[in-house]
Every structure is written in C-alpha cells, then in structure tokens.
Amino acid sequence: MTSAEARRVEQLSEPMRTLRRGFMIFLRVECGLLASTLEAYGRDLDALLLDLQEGGVDRIEDLTPKRLIDHVRMLGRDRAYSPATVSRHIATIKVLCKWLCATGRLPDNPADHLDQPAKWKRLPGVMTPGQMRRLLSAPCPAPNAKPDAIPLWKRDRAILELMYASGLRASEVGHIGLSDLMEKIGVVRVLGKGEKHRLVPMGKPAMDAMDEYVRDCRSRLVTAERAAERRDRGKLFLTKSGRPIERVRVWQIVTRWAKAAGLKDVHPHTLRHSFATHLLMGGADLRIVQSLLGHADITTTQIYTHVDRTQLTKVIKTMHPRG
C-alpha cells in the first residue's frame, strides 16, 4: 500500500476498512489483477467509501441506488472528472456491488441501473515514423559523463526500442525477465492484463539494443553483492540500484527522451499507439494487431484504426474493384 492509500484508509471507519480489505483481496486473489490495476481500483473505492461516510452511510448495507447516483454526479460536477474517468469509477462500483451481492452483504444490486456517461473517445497521439526515429536515437551519454559511468542511456534506448517494436504497456516493461527473451526466434514473452502471457515479435533493432544493454549496462548494475541478494529478481530492466524498474520510471524515461528529441505530449502509450497504427497503415490485419496488443476484445483495438484519409483513399483505389 502506498503512503497516499494509507492516508485515505486512515480516514475510513473500521467497518469500511474491513470492507475495503476484503474487496481488495478478492480483486488480487480471485480476479488476478495487476498491481497497477489494483491501485486504480483502490483509489476509486476510497473515493466512494469516503463520500458515503461523509454522507452518513456508515454501513454498506445502507447503500442505495440514489446514493450511488449522487456519488457519480459529484465526480463529474464537483471534481470535474472527465467522462472516461467517471466511467472507470462506475466500473469499479459495479464490480464492488456484484461482489457485495455474491457474498450476501446486499440482497439487491444498487448499481444495476447506473448508466455510463456518454463518452467521446479521445484518440491517443501517434508519431510519424520520422518522429519515432528521432525519439529512438535520442538516448546518448551525458556531455559531462565520466568515462567509467554506467551507460544507463543504453538501458533507456533498449526500453524505447522494445516498446515501439512490440507495443508494450509501461506496466509490462518491468515484468519482463531475462528468461522471457527468446532471441533465437525473435520474440519476447509479455505478462499482460489479467495475468495473461502473450508472445510478441521484437525485431532486429530492438534485439541489438537489448544485447548492447545487457552486455554493457545490466551486467554492471548486477554486482556480485547485489546478485547474492537477488535484488534484480531475474528481471531484464533494472534501476541504478539494481532493482527491477517500475512503471513510473518507464514514464519518466519516455518523457525525458521525448523532450530531448524535441517532441511534445509523448508518453508510453504514444509508443504503443504508434506501433499499432504503423502496423495497420502497413496493411496488417486488425485481428493480428489485437493479438499483439493483448486485447481480449477487438472493439478495444478499433480505436487504433484512425489511419489518415489519404491512406484510406489509396487502399480503396488499389484494392476496390471499382476504385
């Protein structure tokens, strides 16, 4: 539990704390959610429980549909949350209420008639191939770097190359182990949402960057002392202290080198979106892109099909019998 979570939990009554603890165990053990997803559920749950508590609802058995509707309205009106964020809160509430009914705490589901807000799907940013090349070539030694300094920029370049080559989420980067690299067949095994594994091709530039990182950088991050302590836990990408890299650090790496490359509004999902979009522009089948991204439902993948109109026109003229 993070310090922010701990502060929120301290404000809850003991019955609400017990409820929260049981639900989070259910999400982690029964649903198998990743740490990043659990963190998001925890934040949404805390917002609901604190709001209920402030409104005089001390027992979850007193939860009503009206109370849930008032909470959702508050999120959009008072906190000015976006429709997408409100939708995520509603999803958390629905899972919570189903669990409360399944465990006998509530006789009826008060979230049955909770509607999702109308949502305008904002397309994530996408870089051109030229911009991507600028980003991938940005990592380099610092001007004042000492000759014997550990070349962390090689780690950063390997991360950027792999994220673009394989369409990885920031949360997936830290889970990759040395044993997940299958260089002979050119694929990497990725642990995605729902604890599901998938195999994704890497490409030669990504493999070359990782070979250089493992040889020149990672080997120096894992000293004999750290290896004895097993700090690295067999993970591929490590911090300066020899521990597995975390999602927040991946975000910092991407934004740092994007800024160095003169690119604005670039974050890890931009690389994932560019990976999918460039594949589709090159003629890849949507089902293949779905598999590479690890999407359970193809409707999730369809957001990546915003190929520009000139490309669509070219496809129609080339492929349509009456084009």
Active site (catalytic) residues: 169, 193, 269, 272, 295, 304
Give the Cα separation of 284 and 307 in Å (integer): 12
Q: Which of 303, 315, 252, 254 is nearest to 277 (CA)?
A: 303
Give the Cα separation of 289 and 298 in Å (integer): 9
Q: At what angle do helices 152-166 and 247-260 cross, to 10 degrees?
A: 100
Q: Which of 166, 167, 175, 239 is nearest to 37 (CA)?
A: 175
Find the farthest-apart pair of alpha carbons in the chain and give their distance in angstroms, rounded.
Answer: 70
In whole angstroms, how large is the CA radius of gyration of the chain?
Answer: 23
List of residues 6+ apart from 206 with CB closer than 8 A: 158, 161, 162, 164, 165, 166
Beta strands in the chain (DSSP E): 181-182, 187-191, 197-201
- 59 DSSP assignment: S
- At 118, list the tokens: 């109308």
Give the Cα separation of 146 and 86 in Å (integer): 49
91 by DSSP, 3-state: which?
helix
- At 127, list the tokens: 């870089």
